[in-house]
Amino acid sequence: MIRILVFTALMLLCGPLQAQQASIRGVVEEGGAALPFVNIYLKGTQQGTSTGEDGHFVLEGLAPGRYMLVASAIGYQPHRESISLSGNETITLALELMAAAENLEETVVTGTLKPVSRLESPVPVEVYSPTFLKKNPTASIFEALQNVNGVRPQINCNVCNTGDIHINGLEGPYTLVLIDGMPIVSGLGTVYGLSGIPNSLIEQIEIVKGPASTLYGSEAVGGLINIITKNSLSAPEFFADGFVTGWGEYNLDIGAKATIGESTDLLLGVNYFNYDEPVDNNGDNFTDLTLQERISLFQKWNFQRAHARIFSLAGRFFYEDRWGGEMQWTPEFRGGDEIYGESIYTRRWEVLGKYQLPLEEKMLLSLSYNDHHQNSVYGDLPYLADQRIGFGQLTWDKSLGGHDLLLGTALRYNYYDDNTTATADANGNLPDEVWIPSIFLQDEITLAKKHSLLLGLRYDYDQRHGNILTPRTAYRWKITDNDILRLNAGTGFRVVNLFTEEHAALTGAREVVIAEELKPERSLNVNLNYLKKIYADNGLFVGIDASAFYTYFTNIILPDYDTDPNLILYDNLNGKSVSRGLSANLDMAFPNGLKLLLGATLQDVSNTEDGGTRRQVLTEQFTGTWNISYEFHAARLSVDYTGNLYGPMRLPLLGDLDPRREFSPTWSIQNIQFTYKGIENFELYGGIKNLLDWTPNRGNPFIIARANDPFDKEVTFDSQGNAIATADNPYALTFDPSYVFGPNQGIRGFFGLRYRID
């Protein structure tokens, strides 16, 4: 009888316990877009499922307790989240998968011209996705790169705000910018055209630090940036993103895709930017931010072929009207000497295509062409230029045993003409026109299961400089699946067209002097890279990417501002130039939704000539970047805190009496953004840029020298042409806007809206 009573009591107690089952419901997204077919499972159990086409999932029949939920998909970093369930409870989750810099599993193509897992690439490649770009929304790729460790957008002029990209302290002309692997953004395009690429159609940005001339030829000396556009599978049906700032900047980005017939997909992209409200917060009567209106139109056609062979065509048209100068400047003063202004009209179009030959062998033909026309004036100095670049390349990808071969041949056509002495001789105008044929070979050798060696050699023939050879080698040791050591060494070369690259040669009152015929620059680079990733049992992810780099230059061409304050002297350095340093990135993803991306670079860039060594102008000794994100899942709200820190850099003074700082202070640009994703297909975002309201005029009596006399009408010169100190000009200065190391734009709010249909 007692046994019956005990058994009955246990059944009564256990019955309700067994009925107490919990469930988890949720959605998995990336950047507001639903992700289908994502694996969802509870670690250490047999419970699992996958998301449907709408990104939603359900896990039911779960016993109360603590679990580690994992969401994983190819191409994304696994998401881990600790969950505590009680009886009959239903938890709703909104999970975000990251395909950004912290993801180590992406496919990259830039390092070897072949699609390969980032972990398997013998060349270190950093990858940044649209999700990364959204954390600090900007109107151009130029600005977006400010939070990438070791990469710095450098503004080269206080008046027109044109700039270039520095990698590991090297000047902008040493960075090659590609679109879909094609070198169509170079020369004038690097200085004036690195804007207007529709962000809605960017698949990812790949960055290689160090010479890549063996594969890409001239200009890939310091590194390269490859902007890869989406294909028809990854692009949304429609996308729109617009924002406005407190300074009156308006940016609109629109993308869409369409299917034409049974075998053709079309991607469309439009970017429009406008800023037309002059601001002079530093009181020098010059615009703090250049006024701009630009539009960029992009099309990409993808054609389906038998055996999944590649055939695509893309084109872009870009137009920009920008001006900066005295606040009272209007277009009728363009080119005159009454009111100073720098006005630039840029018209540019580009076309590129890829066609895989209908052969059993993997042979790919790549073609690109661009035409860049510029009509500009700097005060009363006109600069009219045309540049055309054509490029064709045929590659053969072949595997033979333990050898992964890539054989290629390329032909590059460069045409450049302007109204300066750069394209003139005794008989009049003489445009610079050159054909550069090339051939290259790359062999990646599998030495053992964990060891591979890459050997490469490129031969170029330049009729101006003869034969040019650029070898390189790369070694990869896969210590474990989560530890990789890489050693890269190579050479680089660059043929210089001065006026397409050095904006300082066109602005201000200094006279440009070219001492002799400029020789091609040469470089030797060594880079040691270590990659480590850690997955802890509690869901914590840690990624470490550290590098040591060393680059040695000969024949380097640098502007000399120091010898004569009235001149900019250009000459091949009679000595050496060295760039060396250490760089590291730290990724951390916590189970509670907190994500950190921290970066730091220590570098020394110096020039040695005639026994003396000096730091390079406008080159910082250390930089830091950070990206801190937190997701409030229940509120569908995320917070992103981004910023950078730059150490002191030597600045171009005009003489011993110049009262401005010789070195910049340590400075920082910091931003915060809030993003709400609680409305289907919509994202609302807003925040504050430049939280510290930092501008370079702090601690300086002025930024632009002689802003009150931009045509030097009241400057007194001696017989040698040197400015003399007078009561009106106590520092013996001439007009010069080249003293610039950061943006003049202070604190401002911004608000934006995104709409997406997949």
Q: Which residues lie closer than 8 Å to 514 by C-beta, 6 or more apart?
A: 498, 570, 571
Say yes or no to pLDDT of 699 above 60. Answer: yes
Please give the model's pTM, rounded to 2 decimal places: 0.84
The strand pairing partners of 584, in sequence order, are 546, 600
| Pick from 484, 539, 531: nearest CA to 72 | 539
**What is the rounded CA–CA span in Å between residue 729 and residue 692?**
33
Q: Which pLDDT belongs to residue 439?
A: 96
**What is the rounded CA–CA span in Å between residue 15 and residue 518?**
89
Q: Tokens for 535?
A: 């997955």
Q: How many helices (H) and strands (E) does the chain have?
A: 6, 45
**What is the rounded CA–CA span in Å between residue 369 and residue 351?**
5
Residue 6's pLDDT band, with cuts at 50, 70 and 90, is very low
Question: Among 71-75, 404-408, 476-480, where is mean pLDDT lowest?
Answer: 71-75
**Single-letter code of the amino acid located at 379:** G
Say yes or no to pLDDT of 357 above 90. Answer: yes
Residue 282's pLDDT band, with cuts at 50, 70 and 90, is very high
Q: Which pLDDT belongs to residue 474?
A: 93
Average pLDDT over residues 690-710: 94
pLDDT in tens, 192-237: 556 667 777 788 899 988 777 678 876 677 788 898 988 776 788 8
Q: Which pLDDT belongs to residue 98?
A: 67
Phi and psi at residue 156, in whole multiples of 5°?
A: -100, -5
Across 10-43, b (16+ Cβ under 10 Å) vs e yields eeeeeeeeeeeebebebbbbbbbbbbeebbbbbe
pLDDT in tens, 561-619: 667 766 667 777 788 889 999 999 999 998 888 999 999 999 999 988 877 888 888 89
| Pick from 734, 716, 709: nearest CA to 653 | 734
642 versus 465: which is more confidently predicted? 642
Q: Is the dihedral angle over the CA atoms 219, 221, 225, 231 positive or is it negative?
A: positive
Q: Which pLDDT belongs to residue 20?
A: 63
Average pLDDT over the chain reads 86
Which segments within 677-712 are labelled E, that is strand?
Answer: 682-689
Q: Which pLDDT belongs to residue 196?
A: 65
The percent of residues above 70 in pLDDT, for the chain, comes to 88
| Pick from 115, 5, 79: nearest CA to 539 | 79
81 versus 512: which is more confidently predicted? 81
SS3 247: coil
Q: Which pLDDT belongs to residue 192?
A: 59
Contact 659, 697 (CB under 8 A): no
Which segments within 610-738 are labelled E, that is strand?
Answer: 612-615, 622-632, 637-646, 667-676, 682-689
Q: Tokens for 508?
A: 């201000």
pLDDT in tens, 362-384: 999 999 999 999 999 999 989 89
Question: Among 232-236, 394-398, 627-631, where is mean pLDDT lowest?
Answer: 232-236
Q: Which pLDDT belongs to residue 256?
A: 93
pLDDT in tens, 315-348: 999 999 999 999 999 999 999 999 999 999 999 9
What single string gives the DSSP state of each residue in 17-85?
HHH--EEEEEEEEETTEE--S-EEEETTSS-EEE--TTSEEEEEEEPSEEEEEEEE-TTSB-EEEEEEE
Map out the domains of the chain with their CATH numbers.
2-96 (2.60.40.10), 107-757 (2.40.170.20)
| Pick from 484, 603, 589, 606: nearest CA to 538 | 589
Q: Which pLDDT belongs to residue 461?
A: 92
Say yes or no to pLDDT of 313 above 50. Answer: yes
pLDDT in tens, 718-734: 888 889 999 999 999 99
Say yes or no to pLDDT of 679 above 90. Answer: yes
- Angle at Cα 756 formed by Cα 751 and Cα 758, nearest 5°? 165
Q: Which pLDDT belongs to residue 29?
A: 85
Which H or E run contains 124? none
Please give the DSSP secondary-structure letter assigned to residue 620: B
pLDDT in tens, 432-484: 898 999 999 999 999 998 999 999 999 999 887 788 898 999 999 999 988 99
Q: Which residues lie closer than 8 Å to 731 by C-beta, 6 or more apart?
A: 654, 655, 657, 658, 659, 725
Say yes or no to pLDDT of 144 above 50. Answer: yes
Q: Which pLDDT belongs to residue 11?
A: 44
**What is the rounded CA–CA span in Å between residue 378 and residue 650?**
25
Q: Which pLDDT belongs to residue 561?
A: 61
Say yes or no to pLDDT of 499 above 80. Answer: no
Q: Tokens for 593?
A: 């939704």
Q: Tokens for 227?
A: 């902007």
Q: Which pLDDT belongs to residue 12?
A: 44
**What is the rounded CA–CA span in Å between residue 213 and residue 458?**
8
Residue 110's pLDDT band, with cuts at 50, 70 and 90, is confident
- Residue 386 burial (C-beta neighbours within 10 Å; 0-12, 13-18, 19+): middle
Residue 9's pLDDT band, with cuts at 50, 70 and 90, is very low
**What is the rounded CA–CA span in Å between residue 577 and residue 616?**
9
Say yes or no to pLDDT of 702 above 60. Answer: yes
The percent of residues above 90 in pLDDT, for the chain, comes to 49
Phi and psi at residue 583, in whole multiples of 5°?
A: -140, 145
Tokens 């510029």, located at residue: 374
**What is the rounded CA–CA span in Å between residue 300 and residue 310?**
13
